[in-house]
Amino acid sequence: MTLSRTDLMALVAEANLAPSVHNTQPSRWRLDHDGGVLLLEDSTRRLPVGDPLGRDAEVSHGAALEGFVLACAQKGLAVNVDQLPLQAGSLRPVARLGVEPGAGQDPLRAQVSVRRTYRGAFAPGGDAGRLAPLTANADAILVSRADGVARLAQLNDEASLRTYRDKAFRAELVSWMRLSSRHPRWALDGLNAEAMEMSGFEAAGAGLVLKSGIFETLDKAGVAGPLVSEAKVVRSAQAVVLFHRPEDEPPLETGRRFYRLWLEFTALGVAAAPMAVLADDAAARTAIAAAFSVPAGRRLITAFRLGVAPARSRPPKPRLPVEALIV
């Protein structure tokens, strides 16, 4: 069947609520001449330093694709996905999607408008039994003992400090940070201070600490580590989920599952934030595989810290207008 542009706009707006690395929102969409939809990558939104192989970009496309599938299911439409061979180019085709009548409703879809990354400290307490359904997932290791969470908090700080020592990594990260609400892209993309749970004062401080020269000086004095430490926030988590997938799985598939798992957290009433550095940093990854028995042949994709976010109203998530996503 052939979708109208109006149909596509509604589906894409919903698909774009999916998580993406640094909120780069790299997925683009086009009505194909044969009535299907082309999913494309805006390669100018890659992170050459933080994601040199483009894996995180591909996981982000997978999440957006799953968002598109969930939006279609709500309208009774099934999506048939044909992944396209890797090509170069600034607007790179990723997959061709055929859309046909026939899908049933998906209960996770109700969580799409609720889910968001929560990076602050979690509310104390929390019902430990609430997370028990997650143990049914063969790709999720639930770490709920306080000593396990504390060990992961420590590994996260050590791995983050190693990563922050790379000047190019910091520059790239800062280029996606919107540290003041006066930033022209504050509501559009990237990581704004509100989404990072920073006050204006903290945001200004973070901008300063990450600056070339200043970071190195602070690091020599032994204070860069404590300044970028997230350990207190991580230790406030009720649990950490280690998300692992088959080593040879195409990252587009991984991204689909990444989003569904996160929507499962939302359905259980818990908020989450990924700690990708635990999977990206070789020393942290190796320590985690040994300490928490990640099965052989599996790749650690990320570690999510989970807990209850304090109740308060939050502004809309920064997102590009749908017109910019249809090309």
Which residues in the 98-127 window bind ligand FMN by CB under 6 A? Answer: 116-117, 119
Choose between 99 and 263: whose C-beta lies nearer to ligand FMN: 263
Stretch of 15-23, 90-98, 130-138, 306-314 contacting ligand FMN, by CB under 6 A: 15-23
Which residues in the 46-75 window bind ligand FMN by CB under 6 A? Answer: 56, 59-60, 63
Choose between 62 and 126: whose C-beta lies nearer to ligand FMN: 62
Pull the structure tokens for residue 226. Answer: 């404590």
Please tell me whether residue 307 binds ligand FMN under the rule CB under 6 A.
no
- Tell me how far apart the alpha carbons of residues 94 and 100 are, in angstroms, rounded to a whole number: 20
Contact 28, 41 (CB under 8 A): yes
Please tell me whether residue 21 binds ligand FMN under the rule CB under 6 A.
yes
Which helix H or strand E contains 164, and what residues bound it? Answer: helix 146-164
The residue with tokens 């909120």 is 23
- Tell me how far apart the alpha carbons of residues 190 and 202 are, in angstroms, rounded to a whole number: 17
Which of these, 109, 115, 126, lies nearest to 236 by C-alpha position?
126
Q: What angle do CA 74, 75, 77 make, to 5 degrees?
A: 100
Per-residue binding letters, 161-200, with ligand FMN (x by CB under 6 A): ------------------------------x---------
Binding residue (CB under 6 A) for ligand FMN from 11, 15, 20, 142? 20
Rounded least distance, CB 191 to ligand FMN, Å: 6
Binding residue (CB under 6 A) for ligand FMN from 273, 306, 320, 325? 273
Alpha-carbon Rg for the chain, nearest whole angstrom, is 20
Please tell me whether residue 19 binds ligand FMN under the rule CB under 6 A.
yes
Per-residue binding letters, 28-47, with ligand FMN (x by CB under 6 A): --------------------
Question: Looking at the DSSP assignment, which residues form a beta bridge with residue 220?
Answer: none
Binding residue (CB under 6 A) for ligand FMN from 39, 73, 276, 308? 276
Which of these, 101, 75, 97, 82, lies nearest to 30 by C-alpha position?
97
Write out the residues near ligand FMN by the rule CB under 6 A.
19-23, 56, 59-60, 63, 116-117, 119, 191, 273-276, 317
